[in-house]
Amino acid sequence: MEKIKLEIIALSHSVTHSHNYAIILGEVNGSKRLPIVIGGFEAQAIAVALENMIPNRPLTHDLFKNTLESFNINIKEVIIHQLAEGIFYSSLICEKEGTQFTIDSRTSDAIAMAVRFKAPIYTYNSIMEIAGVTMEDPQTEKTAPKIPEKEKSKVKDIEEMSIETLEALLEKALKREDYEHAAKLRDEINKRK
pLDDT tens, position by position, 125-139? 999 998 988 876 434
17: alpha, beta or left, given left = phi > 0 and alpha = psi -120 to 50? beta
| Distance separating alpha carbons of residues 158 and 154, to the nearest angstrom | 9
- Using a 10 angstrom Cβ sphere, with 0-12 exposed, 13-18 middle and 19 or more buried, the burial of residue 183 is buried
pLDDT digits (tens, 9 = 90+) for 37-87: 898 888 888 988 988 887 788 889 999 999 999 999 999 999 999 999 889
pLDDT digits (tens, 9 = 90+) for 2-33: 899 999 998 887 655 566 888 999 999 888 99
Judge whether 37 and 86 are in contact, CB under 8 Å. Answer: no
**Domain 3-131, CATH:** 3.10.690.10
Comma-separated ranges of CATH 3.10.690.10 domains in the chain: 3-131
Task: Give the containing element (helix H, strand E) for 121.
Answer: strand 121-124
Q: What SS3 class is residue 184?
A: helix
